[in-house]
Amino acid sequence: MKRSNVLYGADYNPDQWPEEVWDEDVRLMREAGVNIVSLGIFAWSRIQPAEHVWDFAWLDTVIDKLHAGGISVNLATATASPPPWVSATYPETLPVDESGASYWPGSRQHFAPSSPTYRRLAGELVRRLAERYVKHPAVVMWHVGNEFGCHLWMDFSDAARDAYRVWLAKRYGTIDALNAAWGTSFWSQTYGAFHEIFPPRLAPYSHNPSSMLDWRRFTSDMLLECYLAERKILLDAGATQPITTNFMGPFKPADYRRWAPHMDVIADDCYPDPANPHRIRDAAFQRDLIRSLKPGVPWMLWEQATDAVNWRPGNPGKRPGALMAETAQSIARGADGIMFFQWRQSRAGSEKFHSAMLPHAGTSTRTWDAVTELGARLAALGDLPAPGRDAQVALVFDWENWWAVEERDHPTEIDYLALTLEWYGAFHERGIQVDIIAPEDAGAGYDLVIAPVLYLLREEGASAIARFVEDGGTLVTGPFTDIVDEHDQFRSGGFLTLLGDVVGLRYEDFGALAGESTGGSGVGALSADAAQAARAAAARGTVSFSFEGETHAGRLVAETVHTAGATVLGTFETGLQAGSPAITQHRFGAGEAWYAATQPSGDAIGAIVDAVVAASGARSVVADLPAGVEVARRGDLVTLINHGDAPVEVAIDGTDAETGAAVAQVSLESQGVAFVLAPVESAVRSAPLVDAATF
């Protein structure tokens, strides 16, 4: 069959199988169109069965067989699951939970990221692998660790304690600076020296929130340090191949924006849950987030499932066609590599019920048919355009804000990712392309920036947002925005201290909509009936507000804000804030800023999005997109995916990217996919991630 320019393959774990199977593996990989495998991710105990015993012979054989078969290797550093001898000889490598209990071996990822001993042993393994294989022609990429932080992201061990103190001393310089940043005069927490600080281990009540924010930064940085240490060893050994590790989309424990500059290619693992009604939206967001981490550089999907997974409470398979539809979503949103966990289904261990490219039931299976058909379709695509600046809309999503806004002891509990996805969904269903950015990246190139619930706002982020509006952009923000600084402290002068002039508002109160606060200040101004109604609505957690002649529901908060130049477009109709502004708009410089003083319900988000899209230059990738059809543009490649149940037709002028035929309209069955070349002026051809000549 034709060899694909798209990288196509899977995790390959030949160490789980006898040597007799390896030749069949290579033969079937070729049949499926596989051109790359991620090799030996969990093979540490096979490579180093005892501290001073090394066995590379089997790996030499496997790599040579793959190479002879034209299959490239993404070679793993194999450090994600230390062998039993490591845990037995060096118990200080084991992680510890917040109560001081150890995590024990018997699963995987049982290492303390800060442990110098773990890093030394892992480093030795990586050095030997690198020295042996760095020049092997089959090795085209390096797979460092595996899903850093996946099962265990917070370690409270003594190794973490020591590293945390060093990290804090480096960040703050003096203990006085730390005390100021953490506001430790509260509850008698003032520290006299860095050695008095512990990780936030089990405590009677909530830890200092500013310290929790630093603890989150630290734990993300410790995982990153593990990656960087291995990367350095590879580079020192002369590695010239791309080096990276696999991300997990919007994974809260690791601030991937800080990681991205150190990845030569961004790689991601994505397992949409067939039972999640929003799985298409959520996966699209994940892929847009991943693409946006390295603008202009294609990314790789390193893991998805061919069918069912094994780790949810119930594990249904994918509906027919869904594998192609989900894969097309990745291609559409910037991926140049499509890979699976895993090549051959395991016959033992925790993941034996997890699907694979080659099912345990063999090749006379629906899964094998889907896998080979997918390989053939990807091969037909040839070169793909680079994912460029196709989006006119940017959605702000920020890890530090995520960590801070979900800390304890707030007016109301907020699920930041869920709220972000609600806003994203409105653009997704309208076929409007969106980049996912940090506040600091608001600016040139975008017409519209959506920044929901930007509770923690850094000064640089606020400046970029203000400049963006001043220069003519349209901003939508709120509620619970511009509340704290980077230390999770209120700024002097109240709230909206950085963006108040931009949104034209003065902020008075949070107005949480649930729990005890419903009986709080302000009720006295209402009649007994109104107060009772307000309490009832607040207890239900919703409030009504008007916008464009309709009544909509708001959730979480109904803030008290006062206009300071803004125009009121919507007003609270119920609740303690009845009569006060709910949705506002303000001209600032050449642009405009909208503010939502509550979390709008889905239909209200839709109405706001329609209004701001109409006012800005943002447009759908294709006009008149049928419901259930997803569209995305990647340079001159437009991908259409019918996630609905009924066949649809979509008008689009271009060339079918698989067949080269001219099209004016495409017909899509349920789960059908069309790749159409419909050029835009700025389309740039993608440089191959890995030289296709190696296949």
Show Cβ contacts of residue 494 under 8 Å, excluding neighbours closer than 6 positions. 506, 507
Nearer to ligand GLA, 2 or 352 (CB): 352
Nearer to ligand GLA, 147 or 486 (CB): 147
629: left (phi over 0), alpha (psi -120 to 50) or beta: beta
Instruction: Write 614-617 long-range contacts (CB < 8 A, 24+).
Output: 615/474, 616/392, 616/393, 616/447, 616/448, 616/473, 616/474, 617/392, 617/447
Min dist CB 300 to ligand GLA, Å, is 14
Residue type, 85: W
**Contact 254/269 with Cβ under 8 angstroms?**
no
Helix, strand or coil for residue 594? Answer: strand
Min dist CB 343 to ligand GLA, Å, is 12
Q: Which residues bind ligand GLA (CB under 6 A)?
A: 146-147, 269, 271, 303, 309, 341, 351, 354
**Contact 473/446 with Cβ under 8 angstroms?**
yes
Nearer to ligand GLA, 186 or 311 (CB): 311
From residue 345, how far is each of 45, 204, 358 by CA, in Å?
20, 46, 6
From the list 20, 24, 147, 658, the catalytic residue is 147
Q: What are the tokens at 95?
A: 């992680």
Nearer to ligand GLA, 268 or 630 (CB): 268
**Contact 121/82 with Cβ under 8 angstroms?**
yes
Nearer to ligand GLA, 243 or 496 (CB): 243
How far apart CA 374 and CA 357 sit, in angstroms, is 11
Strands 474-478 and 591-596: parallel
Nearer to ligand GLA, 95 or 504 (CB): 95
From the list 303, 407, 422, 486, the catalytic residue is 303
Strands 673-677 and 637-642: antiparallel
Min dist CB 494 to ligand GLA, Å, is 45
Q: Distance of alpha carbon 142 from its chain centroid, rounded?
A: 21
Residue entry with tokens 């999503």: 397
Residue nearest to ligand GLA (CB): 341
Nearer to ligand GLA, 307 or 400 (CB): 307
DSSP 636: T
How far apart CA 681 and CA 39 sit, in angstroms, is 40
Closest listed residue to residue 35, CA positions, set 3, 63, 1: 3
Min dist CB 147 to ligand GLA, Å, is 4
Nearer to ligand GLA, 78 or 309 (CB): 309
Examine the residue annotation and report whether 147 is marked as an active-site residue of this protein.
yes
Q: What are the tokens at 226?
A: 């593990």
Min dist CB 80 to ligand GLA, Å, is 8
Alpha-helix runs per DSSP H in 557-616: 602-615
Show Cβ contacts of residue 415 under 8 Å, excluding neighbours closer than 6 positions. 406
Examine the residue annotation and report whether 459 is marked as an active-site residue of this protein.
no
Min dist CB 333 to ligand GLA, Å, is 19
Min dist CB 356 to ligand GLA, Å, is 10
Judging by beta carbons within 10 Å of its beta carbon (0-12, 13-18, 19+), is residue 216 exposed, middle or buried? Answer: buried
Nearer to ligand GLA, 111 or 594 (CB): 111
Min dist CB 569 to ligand GLA, Å, is 45
Report residue 311: phi and psi, to 5°: -110, 5
* HEC-encoded secondary structure of 33-45: CCCEEEECCCCHH
**Contact 636/655 with Cβ under 8 angstroms?**
no
Catalytic residues: 147, 303
